[in-house]
A and B are shown apart, each in its own frame.
Chain A
Amino acid sequence: MPPSTLVLRRNARSLSGPAFVRWGLIGAAVLLLGVFLIVPLVAVFTFAFQKGWEAYVSALTHPTALAAMRLTLLSAAIAVPFNLAFGLAASWLIARFQFRGRSLLMTLIDLPFSVSPVIAGLIFVLLFGRQGWLGPWLLDHDVRVIFAVPGIVLATVFVTFPYVARELLPVMEAQGSDEEEAALTLGASGWRTFLCVTLPKVKWGVLYGVILCNARAMGEFGAVSVVSGHVRGVTTTLPLHAEILYNEYDLAGAFAVASLLTLLAIVTLVVKKFVEWRSHPS
């Protein structure tokens, strides 16, 4: 055995501590993981299937459930591209340029993270609601925002605002702008440089941000709940639909919808892991 290996082994042992500490910590971690993650996961699917496969399918194919799915997909389909465009523009601006108001912009991007989603929903009610600032004007022009689909989309956009920008900012800052400058000297326009040089450099960061943004957009409850008004089949998203069924003691139905959101979470985690693996091949 070469001497360097010996030294490494000895160091590894001196760093690891006695056996009871190691097994104690591992045991605590496994217990915590089991109670907080595995048991709930199993519970969701157990409750969902407690009345059998047919009840599960009929709960998911009920018109109000289908409407909830459509609305969830719609709000994600609007919120994700919007926040992708905003996130790319904002992170590029903040990472590449020094300007007045730069730190204010960064704080504003973080705002949805620091504000409770319920408060975020209330802000929209105060702005667009019947009693709100813009309420009378909207009423006169027959535009409904609160207790309607536009309100749900707005609330979703607001709470998912920071995801892409926050994910991209460190990536953009770490990479510097040498390659962009090289592209400019070779005659590429700013737009072309962005598409052919900047975007390929940050593509995994973009994808990662989009995945997180999408998961949050589809799973958002608090802000959406405030602006929704819970009009069944019209302004209910999947999480709201699950809540309604649960409040009506339709446990199998509620958990069937919940299982759908759980599957979404699992798919998100798998894709996220894949993206992490692709962006840092070791």
Chain B
Amino acid sequence: MSIVVEQLARRFTQGGSPAVSRVSFQAPEGAITSLLGPSGAGKSTLLRLIAGLEIPDEGRVLIDGVDCTRMPVQQRGVGVVFQSYALFKHLTVRQNVAFGLEVRRVPKAERDARVEEMLRMVQLEHLGGRYPGQLSGGQRQRVAFARALAIRPRVLLLDEPFGALDTRVREELREWLHALHERTRLTTLLVTHDQQEALEISQHVVVLSEGRVAQAGSPADIYDRPASPFVASFIGGASVLHGHVQAGRAAMGALSVAAPAAAREGEAVQAFVRPHDIKLAKALAGAASASTATGRVERLKPVGGYVKVFLRLPSGDEVTVEVPRSEFDALGVVEGDSVRADVRSATVFVGDYSI
């Protein structure tokens, strides 16, 4: 049951900028596909268009090869989980899960059996008689999953399902969702602004920016081969170095890395460097190479197991480097020191973009 979206567009205010503009992508059958992007990128609107809660101005939505652009929500057979849980507060957990089955006139015996099966699946069989108000956030979201899955949907649509939960519960539920998907193999579309979440549990990622698809591919593709400066800076918290093409290499002051083959001599370039792709060493230790530069430590910020080092390079660009705690202790630098930065890998784009 794949989901195919073709040239989908939706504009909320006349003359305003579109929330979704001519978006096309595919969510492969049996996989978790993430719609990843900053807030305002149109992710939720896209999900609502696929669910049938919004009507597109243009374009088509196909579920399992069937055009359901004009099909009412009720007939699409989609299971939707909202960030706000959207549980029926006046109904018990069991009644919430049974709601979709009652609507479909599933016979009582079958309905009861299915509800119990769903509650077991989300490990809430002992809380069936409680009301949503008596549950924790994580439990409520599991009820919402059980309710959505009880109707045996063709596809599962998740709108920031873990967005309202604290970090620990979010990570637990992420693991749980991964295990659930391993078992059900239900085609799933996950809207998230959390790149960690997208990279961790999905097999396919669609990066959105300002209502358009910025890049679509496997998590490894997105992470290792960003297609645009936007994706490069959005994923992985990369720093930007500005420079020019010199002798076939992207040169940022004394530092240079390999330039794209198509780059012409003298053209402006931007190099995106991830925080853990820079190795720090004591200044003047060892031989300097083309990919090293000497920078000044502006600020140090210990973050649990690693230390964030903010470096100012001679070219004026600031880069953020993440150094594991033990490595940092061995390095022994303080703010104001000069260190040597060895750029192990960078993604270079030609042109001078501003993001």
Q: Chain A: residues with CB nearer than 8 A to chain B?
A: 176, 178-179, 181-189, 192, 196-197, 200-201
- A179 contacts which chain B residues (CB < 8 A)? 86-89
B138 in contact (CB, < 8 A): no
| Chain A residues, Cβ within 8 Å of B78 | 185
Interface size on B, residues (CB 8 A): 25
| Across the A-B interface, the 10 shortest Cβ-Cβ residue pairs | A186-B100, A178-B86, A182-B86, A185-B80, A200-B90, A184-B73, A187-B103, A188-B103, A187-B74, A178-B84
Choose among B75, B82, B99 the residue that contacts A186 (Cβ–Cβ < 8 A).
B99
Give 27 pairs: A residue, B residue, CB < 8 Å, sorted on A. Answer: A176-B84, A178-B82, A178-B84, A178-B86, A179-B89, A181-B53, A181-B80, A181-B82, A182-B82, A182-B86, A182-B87, A184-B53, A185-B51, A185-B74, A185-B148, A186-B99, A186-B147, A186-B148, A186-B151, A187-B74, A187-B75, A187-B104, A188-B100, A192-B103, A196-B99, A197-B88, A201-B90
Q: What's the minimum C-beta distance from A72 to chain B, rounded to whole angstroms?
A: 35
Residue of B nearest to A200 (CB): B90
In whole angstroms, what is the CA distance A179 to B90 when docked? 11
- Chain B residues lying within 8 Å of A197, measured Cβ to Cβ, are 88
- Do A201 and B79 form a contact, CB below 8 Å, given A185-B51, A188-B74? no
Q: Hey, which chain A residues are within 8 Å of B148, CB to CB? A: 185-186
Indicate the member of B52, B74, B75, B82 with the most A CB atoms within 10 Å.
B74
Closest chain B residue to A197, Cβ basis: B88
Residues in A with CB closer than 8 Å to B73 are 184-185
Q: Which of B76, B87, B90 has the most CB of A within 10 A?
A: B90
B87 touches A186 (CB 8 A): no
Q: How far is the CA of A187 from the CA of B104 in the complex (A)?
A: 7
Are B88 and A187 within 8 A (Cβ)? Answer: no
Whether A187 pairs with B86 at a CB distance below 8 angstroms is no
Kindly state the separation between the CA atoms of A188 and B80 in the bound complex, as whole angstroms. Answer: 13
Residues of A within 8 A of B79 (CB): 185
Give the distance to chain B from A182, nearest Cβ to Cβ, in Å: 4
Closest to A185 in B: B80
**B contact residues around A183 at 8 Å (CB):** 88, 99
Contact A182 B90 (CB under 8 A): no
CB–CB A187/B100 < 8 A: yes
Q: Is the interface of B mostly helix, strand, loop or mixed?
A: mixed
State in angstroms the CA–CA spacing of A201 and B90 once bound together.
7
How distant is A188 from chain B, measured CB to nearest CB, in Å?
A: 5
Q: How far is the CA of A189 from the CA of B75 in the complex (A)?
A: 10
In the docked arrangement, what's the CA distance between A196 and B89, Å?
11
The B114-139 residues at the A interface (CB cut-off 8 A) are none
Which of B84, B86, B90 has the most C-beta atoms of chain A within 10 angstroms of its own C-beta? B86
Q: How far is the CA of A273 from the CA of B78 in the complex (A)?
A: 43
Shortest distance between the CB of B323 and any CB in chain A (Å)? 42
User: Which residue numbers of B lie inside 8 Å of A, CB to CB?
Assistant: 51-53, 73-76, 78-80, 82, 84, 86-90, 99-100, 103-104, 144, 147-148, 151
In the bound complex, CA of A197 to CA of B147 (Å): 15
Cβ–Cβ < 8 Å partners of B87 in chain A:
179, 182
Give the Cβ gap from A228 to chain B, nearest Cβ, in Å. 43
CB proximity of B173 to chain A, nearest CB, Å: 18
Given A184-B52, A196-B88; 8 other pairs, CB 8 A cutoff = A179-B88, A181-B53, A181-B80, A185-B53, A185-B73, A185-B74, A186-B148, A192-B103
Which A residues lie within 8 Å of B103 (CB)?
186-189, 192
Q: How far is the CB of A127 from chain B (nearest CB, A)?
A: 40
- Bound together, the chains give a CA A188 to CA B51 distance in angstroms of 14
Indicate whether A181 sits within 8 Å of B74 (C-beta atoms), given known contacts A186-B147, A187-B100.
no
- Complex CA gap A177/B103 in Å reads 19
Q: Quote the shortest CB–CB distance from A100 to chain B (angstroms).
A: 13
Query: Could you tell me the distance in whole angstroms from the C-beta of B61 to the nearest C-beta in chain A?
Result: 14
Q: Which residues of B contact A188 (CB under 8 A)?
A: 74, 99-100, 103
Assembled-state Cα–Cα distance A197/B88 (Å): 7
Q: How far is the CB of B96 from chain A (nearest CB, A)?
A: 9
Contacts of B99 in A (CB 8 A): 183, 186, 188, 196
A188 and B144 CA atoms in complex are apart in Å by: 16
Complex-state Cα separation, A238 to B136, whole angstroms: 54
Distance of A203 from chain B, by nearest CB (Å): 8
Residues of chain B within 8 A (CB-CB) of A178 are: 82, 84, 86
- Rounded to whole angstroms, the CA-CA distance of A187 and B151 in the bound complex is 9
Closest residue on chain B to residue A188 by CB atoms: B103
Query: Which of the listed residues A187, A189, A201 has the most CB atoms from chain B within 10 Å of its own CB?
Result: A187
Residue of A nearest to B78 (CB): A185
Residues in B with CB closer than 8 Å to A196 are 88, 99
Contacts of B53 in A (CB 8 A): 181, 184-185
Assembled-state Cα–Cα distance A176/B52 (Å): 18
Provide the bound-state CA to CA distance between A178 and B53, in Å.
11
A184 in contact with B74 (CB, 8 Å): yes
Chain B: which residue is nearest A183 at the CB level? Answer: B99
Residues of B within 8 A of A176 (CB): 84
Closest to A181 in B: B53
Closest to B73 in A: A184
A192 to B82, CA, bound (A): 20
Q: Which residue of A lies closest to B150 (CB)?
A: A186
Residues of A contacting B151 in the complex (Cβ-Cβ under 8 angstroms)? 186-187
Distance in angstroms between the alpha carbons of A182 and B87 in the assembled complex: 8
A residues in contact with B88, CB < 8 Å:
179, 182-183, 196-197, 200
Q: Which of B75, B86, B147 contacts A181 (CB 8 A)?
A: B86
How far in angstroms is the closest Cβ of chain A from B325?
37
Cβ–Cβ < 8 Å partners of A186 in chain B: 99-100, 103, 147-148, 151
Tell which of A181, A182, A186, A201 has the most Cβ of chain B within 10 Å: A186
A13–B148 alpha-carbon span in the complex (Å): 53
B75 proximity list for chain A (CB < 8 A): 187
A53 to chain B, nearest CB (A): 47
